[in-house]
Amino acid sequence: MKKIFIFQLILVLFVIAACKKDFPMDDDGLLITNRSDCYVSAFELLGADFQTVRTKAATIDTTAQTINVEVFYGTDLKNLYPQFSLVIDAVLDPKIVGKVDFSDLSKPKEWTVVSGNRKVRKTYKVYLTVKQ
């Protein structure tokens, strides 16, 4: 009788373990969630000295998917470090791994925000102007 009871208990534990939900991860080991929100909430731009080069807060248009930044006169545009703040669970593609060359002002740089569920993608263009 006792043996049967233990067997049943083990069986129940197995069933519970089997019912546990899997948490899917992306290639970077980040959690894929149910969130479909997909936007940039803040944007920073640092110079080679890791100090901000913005003259004022960046203007982020989440509808037009644009970011407009005015930088100081004399900013070294070839060696800038952009920093994006995104809605929760979203990721940026491509990743920013070092300094970025913004010197060609006629060609805005583009980054794509991917939502938490990895199903919504929105490409933002970053426009720089130099204070004159």
Residues forming contacts to other proteins in the complex (CB under 8 A) are: 47-51, 72-74, 76, 78-79, 101, 131-132
| C-alpha–C-alpha distance, residues 68 and 61, integer Å | 8
Residue 132 to residue 128: CA distance in whole angstroms: 13
* Closest residue by Cα to residue 44 from 86, 11, 89: 86
Report d(CA 70, CA 67) in Å as an integer: 10
Residue 117 beta carbon to other proteins: minimum distance, rounded to whole angstroms? 38
Nearer to other proteins, 103 or 123 (CB): 103
CB of 131 to other proteins, least distance (A): 6
Q: Which is nearer to other proteins, 13 or 57 (CB)?
A: 57
- Min dist CB 38 to other proteins, Å, is 33
Q: Which is nearer to other proteins, 47 or 116 (by Cβ)?
A: 47
Q: Which is nearer to other proteins, 121 or 131 (CB)?
A: 131
Alpha helices, DSSP H, located in the chain: 2-19
Is the distance from CB of 128 to CB of 102 less than 8 angstroms?
yes
User: Closest approach of Cβ 80 to other proteins, in Å?
Assistant: 11
> Distance between CA 114 and CA 112 in Å, rounded?
6
